[in-house]
């Protein structure tokens, strides 16, 4: 099966071109590009690479060809870029950390699946390594388009760098594009994945039509058509994000085996951008405070279900209660102190108008980057507590990204 990759070739550990030594002092506001070997040399990243190798059934040489070389090229390309501007992994090197984490989580999940589903055990055994590698590539590449369309990168002299120019070789600076479109990075993935994977790998994967189709759908951002492969990537992404934001990655790994969380989030972002009215002095669909987004529960459920059904998306819960439960199960709706999805709170405007509503409470960081967040409500949203809970403090909504602990990957 792997004979294609067993011919003699230069040692794969040096799978990136030699990098000229940059100036010792790159200049104010500039970052010095580093070779992949240096970027991957930190103890934490080395442990992640070891976790990834342990979840394959390959020799070190085969692993270097199929996994390490693409990972080195990924590191060479993403350098010190963050994975997001103000949400998860929003620190220098965050994109590389997220890439390694999601591959490790995806391969952990893949171990619980016999792929392709519905075929004989003999066929599954024959295709096992191809599906494992395809899972890793889908996970690694799912956000690579951000480098092409979300970031503006330039050298010290102002020359703009694009990732199709090849890896950065001189001191550089970057910023997030204010006009970026949320979904565009999925469409931009096709600009870059041939830079990370060799033609021989494409030849190998293309020999398995089910895997090849699923991989192409993931790389195009069409997870709803990617079957189990899409589900694995979405769940692994959730686990990496939850770990970095201080959540519980095991909950994301145990989520229902479909991409419903992504559909729900995309639907909420669309509605908040195109339909919902926020922070109105009286009737409103929701109110944004400094630490939370409060959406009127029935309104958001009705409109979200209607929007997703109009998009032809399957698996949408049929009742509002089920929608509330799914939003909470996927970590989108924040629970009350007693673990419920629905909050009761009163809204008071600065003009004196006041009314009580039932709400879903969300973290604003799930919906907007910091620079895109609307101005907060000028009035107050006050949680109404039961008498026996009156002395209990309502916890603040988690919103600020922080450097999380190392992924809980051992023993998997």
- pLDDT per residue over 105-119, tens digit each? 999 999 999 999 999
* pLDDT tens digit sequence for 121-142: 999 999 999 999 999 999 999 9
Q: Is residue 386 very low, low, confident or very high in pLDDT (cuts 50, 70, 90)?
A: low
Question: What's the average model confidence in pLDDT over 255-279?
Answer: 77
Tell me the β-bridge partners of 175. 152
Higher pLDDT, 405 or 98: 98
- Would you state the pLDDT for residue 253? 57
> Which residue shows structure tokens 């976790």?
51
Radius of gyration, CA atoms only, the chain? 23
Under 8 Å between Cβ of 176 and 186: no
Q: Residue 332 has what pLDDT?
A: 83
The pairing of strands 380-383 and 343-348 is antiparallel
| Residues 295, 285 contacting (CB under 8 angstroms) | yes
Output the furthest CA–CA distance in the chain (Å, rounded). Answer: 78
How large is the angle between the packed helices 320-329 and 260-274, nearest 10 degrees?
110
Residue 293 in this model has a pLDDT that exceeds 90: yes
pLDDT higher than 50, residue 4: no
| Strand spans (E) along 177-327 | 286-288, 293-296
Both tokens of 178, joined, read 């204010």
pLDDT higher than 50, residue 388? no
For 214-223, 256-265, 369-378, 385-394, which range has the lowest pLDDT when averaged over its residues? 385-394
Please tell me the predicted confidence (pLDDT) of residue 9.
38
Q: How many residues does the chain have?
A: 412
Q: How far is Cα 405 from Cα 243, in angstroms, rounded to an integer?
A: 7
Find the mean pLDDT for residues 181-191: 86
The C-alpha atoms of residue 235 and residue 249 are separated, in whole angstroms, by: 9
List, in order, residues 6 or more apart from 262 with CB less than 8 Å away: 223, 234
Question: Can you list the alpha helix ranges (DSSP code H) found in 79-225?
Answer: 94-110, 121-141, 146-149, 184-188, 193-196, 199-206, 209-219
- Residue entry with tokens 């070789």: 169
Look up the CATH number of domain 3-258: 1.10.3210.40
The two tokens of residue 221 are 């951002």
Q: With H, G, I as helix, E, B as strand and everything else as coil, classify residue 356.
A: strand
Higher-confidence position of 225 and 371: 225
Beta carbons within 8 Å of 289's beta carbon, 6+ residues apart: 376, 377, 381
pLDDT at 252 over 90: no
Higher pLDDT residue, 20 or 318? 318
The percent of residues above 70 in pLDDT, for the chain, comes to 81
61 touches 12 (CB < 8 A): yes
Residue 51 to residue 56: CA distance in whole angstroms:
9
Mean pLDDT value of segment 307-318: 73
Q: Locate 276 and state its tokens.
A: 């919902």
Provide the b/e sequence for 94-130 (b: ≥16 CB within 10 Å). bbbbbbbbbbbbbbbbbeebebbeeeeeeebeebbbb
Q: What is the mean pLDDT of the chain?
A: 83
pLDDT of residue 317: 74
Q: Where are the domains of the chain?
A: 3-258, 262-389
Q: Is residue 46 scored above 50 in pLDDT?
A: yes
């Amino acid at each position: 099966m792997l004979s294609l990759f067993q011919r003699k070739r230069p040692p794969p550990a040096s799978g990136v071109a030699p990098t000229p030594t940059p100036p010792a002092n790159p200049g104010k506001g500039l970052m010095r590009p580093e070779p992949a070997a240096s970027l991957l040399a930190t103890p934490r990243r080395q442990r992640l690479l070891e976790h990834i190798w342990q979840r394959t059934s390959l020799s070190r040489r085969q692993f270097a060809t199929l996994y390490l070389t693409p990972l080195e090229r990924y590191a060479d390309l993403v350098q010190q870029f963050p994975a997001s501007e103000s949400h998860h992994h929003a620190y220098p090197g965050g994109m590389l950390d997220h890439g390694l984490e999601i591959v490790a989580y995806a391969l952990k999940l893949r171990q619980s699946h016999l792929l392709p589903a519905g075929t004989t055990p003999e066929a599954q055994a024959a295709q096992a390594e191809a599906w494992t590698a395809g899972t890793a590539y889908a996970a690694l590449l799912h956000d690579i388009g951000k480098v092409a369309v979300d970031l503006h990168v330039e050298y010290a002299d102002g020359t703009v760098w694009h990732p199709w120019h090849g890896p950065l070789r001189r001191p550089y600076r970057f910023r997030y594009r204010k006009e970026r479109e949320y979904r565009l990075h999925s469409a931009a993935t096709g600009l870059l994945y041939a830079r990370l994977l060799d033609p021989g790998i494409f030849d190998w994967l293309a020999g398995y039509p089910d895997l090849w189709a699923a991989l192409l759908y993931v790389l195009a951002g069409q997870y709803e058509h990617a079957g189990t492969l899409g589900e694995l990537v979405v769940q692994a992404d959730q686990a990496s994000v939850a770990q970095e934001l201080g959540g519980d990655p095991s909950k994301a790994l145990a989520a229902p085996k479909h991409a419903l969380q992504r559909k729900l989030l995309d639907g909420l972002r669309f509605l908040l951008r195109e339909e919902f009215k926020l922070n109105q002095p009286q009737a409103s669909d929701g109110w944004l405070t400094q630490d939370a987004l409060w959406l009127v529960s029935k309104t958001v459920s009705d409109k979200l279900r209607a929007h997703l059904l109009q998009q032809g998306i399957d698996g949408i819960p049929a009742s509002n209660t089920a929608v509330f439960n799914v939003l909470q199960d996927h970590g989108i709706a924040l629970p009350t102190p007693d673990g419920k999805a629905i909050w009761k709170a009163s809204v008071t405007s600065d003009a004196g108008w006041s009314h009580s509503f039932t709400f879903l409470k969300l973290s604003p960081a799930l919906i907007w980057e910091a620079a895109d967040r609307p101005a907060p409500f000028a009035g107050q949203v006050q949680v109404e507590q039961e008498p026996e809970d009156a002395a209990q403090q309502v916890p603040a909504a988690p919103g600020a990204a922080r450097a999380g602990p190392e992924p809980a990957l051992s023993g998997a």
